[in-house]
């Protein structure tokens, strides 16, 4: 019997992955963009795909003599599907870069494929701190929950908030937000009086909000992923938590620009911390918001869109710097250390951690020209992911 027969399926697929990049050779440069285009996280996919296409429309589809081909795949936010699609994109389509990743489990499921095939993997959405440690081929253009949560825990006690109940989605980013918010608030002399976790899939916030009402903290701190914020806001108001004197504070995932304008005046005054607001007052952002909206029937870009737009920038520049030569390692090297102006402000890909360093803003929901926006009122410059400060 030939030796090959004894190879397990896993070893076979590992061999296929390792061989894949060497075979990729023609004048196209392929980006495999895996996103949740349907299901609970569909707005993330819609925003990122639209932003990637906008970047290409503005910057052309030929870079360093290569024609850029974007291959979009819908993983419906199921990590097993993400992994299968990534494997197919690497082995069959011979993509040069993997990108997207709407939720943390999808990014973590794909990390070993990036490592084995030496394919750079640009995480444009998922935001658990540890993701960049799952593969040396991962580069992140989104954010991390520790990065954005700490600013709010500094702001709260200076603004009359001493006791807080935390309410987070029960998975990676939520657990990061809960821990880093609590540690910092406690350090600042405040107190987390209860820590509640809701399921990621089909969450029912009502029973948790009732517990918060009974607990009567000064504020409720919330993290839920993009797309779930409007439901939290609605039930917070319906249960009369605001009338009971409980303030709502959150990461900007809750007052998501994709949904904010439909949340109604009940959202006015909610203070959040985050890395991007469609109302960010820079010339570059004004142009970005206008162009995005024009290309997408009036849709307002959210923080997912900016992660996708900047991710495309990182890929384009890496291709330019490596002059279209070399494989995944050359591309990866050229992604590390990129420093540029994004619609969110100045950003930097830390060469050591491959994670994003960026400004974090405190914002308040206000009405401007009849529309609800997250209006920035303070900034913490150049914030590294505190989840990695060891």
Using CB under 6 A, list all residues that contact ligand DHB: 44, 103-104, 125-128, 172-173, 225-226, 253
Place of tokens 């998501």: 256
Tokens of 115: 């490592």
CB closer to ligand DHB out of 44 and 110: 44
Task: Kindly tell me the sign of the dihedral angle through the C-alpha atoms of 348, 345, 104, 183.
Answer: positive
Distance in Å, CB of 109 to ligand DHB, minimum: 12
Distance in Å, CB of 228 to ligand DHB, minimum: 8
The bridge status of strand 66-74 relative to strand 97-100 is: unpaired
Question: Angle formed by the axes of helices 328-335 and 303-321, to 10°?
Answer: 120
CB closer to ligand DHB out of 21 and 105: 105
Distance in Å, CB of 286 to ligand DHB, minimum: 24
> Residue of minimal CB distance from ligand DHB?
225
DSSP class per residue in 260-282? GGGS-GGGTT-EEEES--TT---
CB closer to ligand DHB out of 117 and 149: 149
DSSP class per residue in 87-153? HHHHHTS--SEEEE--SHHHHHHHHHHHHHHT--EEESS---GGGGGS-TTEEE-S--HHHHHHHHH
Distance in Å, CB of 124 to ligand DHB, minimum: 11
CB closer to ligand DHB out of 296 and 302: 302
- Inter-CA distances, 7 with 18, 88, 313, Å: 15, 20, 40
CB closer to ligand DHB out of 63 and 127: 127
CB closer to ligand DHB out of 45 and 217: 45
Distance in Å, CB of 225 to ligand DHB, minimum: 3
Alpha carbon 347 to chain centroid distance?
14
CB closer to ligand DHB out of 32 and 173: 173
CA atoms of 103 and 74, how far apart (whole Å):
13
Task: Kindly tell me the sign of the dihedral angle through the C-alpha atoms of 16, 21, 26, 31.
Answer: positive
CA atoms of 50 and 385, how far apart (whole Å):
27
Tokens of 192: 């987390």
CB closer to ligand DHB out of 234 and 239: 234
Task: Kindly tell me the sign of the dihedral angle through the C-alpha atoms of 265, 270, 276, 281.
Answer: positive
Distance in Å, CB of 226 to ligand DHB, minimum: 3
Distance in Å, CB of 349 to ligand DHB, minimum: 18
CA atoms of 100 and 45, how far apart (whole Å):
8
Distance in Å, CB of 173 to ligand DHB, minimum: 4
């Amino acid at each position: 019997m030939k030796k090959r027969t004894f190879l397990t399926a896993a070893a076979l697929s590992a061999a296929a992955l390792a061989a894949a990049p060497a075979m990729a050779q023609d004048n196209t440069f392929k980006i495999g963009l895996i996103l949740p285009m349907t299901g609970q996280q569909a707005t993330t996919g819609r925003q990122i795909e639209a932003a990637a296409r906008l970047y290409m429309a503005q910057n052309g589809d030929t870079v360093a003599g290569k024609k850029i081909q974007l291959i979009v795949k819908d993983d419906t936010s199921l990590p097993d599907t993400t992994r299968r699609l990534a494997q197919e994109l690497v082995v069959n389509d011979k993509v040069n870069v993997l990108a997207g990743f709407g939720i943390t489990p999808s990014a973590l499921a794909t990390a070993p494929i990036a490592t084995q095939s030496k394919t750079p993997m640009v995480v444009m959405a998922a935001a658990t701190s540890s993701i960049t440690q799952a593969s040396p081929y991962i580069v992140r253009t989104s954010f991390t929950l520790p990065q954005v949560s700490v600013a709010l825990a500094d702001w709260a006690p200076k603004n009359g908030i001493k006791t807080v109940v935390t309410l987070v989605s029960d998975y990676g980013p939520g657990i990061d937000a809960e821990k880093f918010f609590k540690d910092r608030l406690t350090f600042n002399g405040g107190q987390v009086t209860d820590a509640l976790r809701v399921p990621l899939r089909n969450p029912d916030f009502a029973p948790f909000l009732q517990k918060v009402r009974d607990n009567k903290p000064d504020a409720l701190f919330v993290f839920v992923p993009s797309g779930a914020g409007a439901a939290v806001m609605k039930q917070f108001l319906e249960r009369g938590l605001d009338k009971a004197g409980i303030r709502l504070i959150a990461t900007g995932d809750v007052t998501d620009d994709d949904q904010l304008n439909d949340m109604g005046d009940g959202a006015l005054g909610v203070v959040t911390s985050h890395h991007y607001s469609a109302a960010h007052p820079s010339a570059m952002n004004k142009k970005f918001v206008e162009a995005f909206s024009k290309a997408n029937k009036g849709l307002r870009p959210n923080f997912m869109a900016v992660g996708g737009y900047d991710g495309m920038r990182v890929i384009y520049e890496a291709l330019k710097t490596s002059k279209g030569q070399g494989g995944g390692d050359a591309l990866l090297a050229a992604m590390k250390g990129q420093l540029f102006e994004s619609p969110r402000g100045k950003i930097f890909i830390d060469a050591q951690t491959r994670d994003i360093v960026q400004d974090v803003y405190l914002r308040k929901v206000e009405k401007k020209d009849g529309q609800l926006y997250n209006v920035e009122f303070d900034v913490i410059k150049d914030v590294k992911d505190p989840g990695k400060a060891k």
